[in-house]
Amino acid sequence: MAFALTPLPYDDTALAPAVSAETLSFHHGKHHQAYVDKTNAAIDGTDHADKSLEGVIAAARGSNQGLFNNSAQSWNHGFYWHSMAAESTSASDELQTMIDAAFGSTDELIKQLQDRGAGHFASGWVWLAEKDGKLSIEETHDGDTLADSDFNPLLTIDVWEHAYYLDHQNARPAYLKAVTETKLNWAFASENLARGTTWAYSA
């Protein structure tokens, strides 16, 4: 089956000024679309054609770097759009308890996400993830993903330069501050935690 571009779950102006409509037009409409198109072209007529995107990622890891990069980036971006919200959301009681246990407070978690994102060398992703009932901040480089890992990803932040350059130029910390303090979708994170399995890409 061919994969479709994940629709934005909000209006393209809804994340401004943290992420502008102009950034979304390029990031979602061009970058993400290109990853999806390249994934579809690579699996057409192959044994991967009927797999889920998560299945394609797992099959390509370590054996087909081009397919892995494009399929993993398709998944990461779909997850990233949902990791942000237009309106303020709250963590479930279960998630809040785990945040307090792992980080002391939501404010401290946000600070650590900002620090890890700012310190991440070059391109990649910073994640809030759960494993064995505990939360942690994880990092993946370039196009790597937690989609086929032992972790259950709850939220992610894109730290590729194209995620923020039009709005914040080279000031990645300013982007991270804006997104983590005003746009993180704690309801989405809570749903991922409650489900207990990795989010499935759909469009």
Structure confidence by residue, pLDDT tens digits, 49-77: 999 999 999 999 999 999 999 999 999 99
Global pTM reads 0.97
pLDDT value of residue 163: 97
Per-residue DSSP letters for 149-170?
A: SSSEEEEEEE-SGGGTHHHHTT
Task: Please give the Cα distance from 112 to 79 (Å, whole number).
Answer: 20
- What's the pLDDT at 202? 84
> What is the average pLDDT value for the chain, to the nearest integer?
97
Q: Residue 134 pLDDT > 80, yes or no?
A: yes
Residues 6+ apart with CB under 8 A from 30: none
- Give pLDDT tens digits for 11-44: 999 999 999 999 999 999 999 999 999 999 999 9
For residues 164-196, one letter each, b for 16 or more C-beta atoms within 10 angstroms of the residue's C-beta and e for the rest, the string is bbbbbeeebeebbbbbbeebbbbbbbbebbeee
Percent of the chain clearing pLDDT 90 (strictly above): 99
Provide the pLDDT confidence category of residue 203 given band limits of 50, 70 and 90.
Answer: low
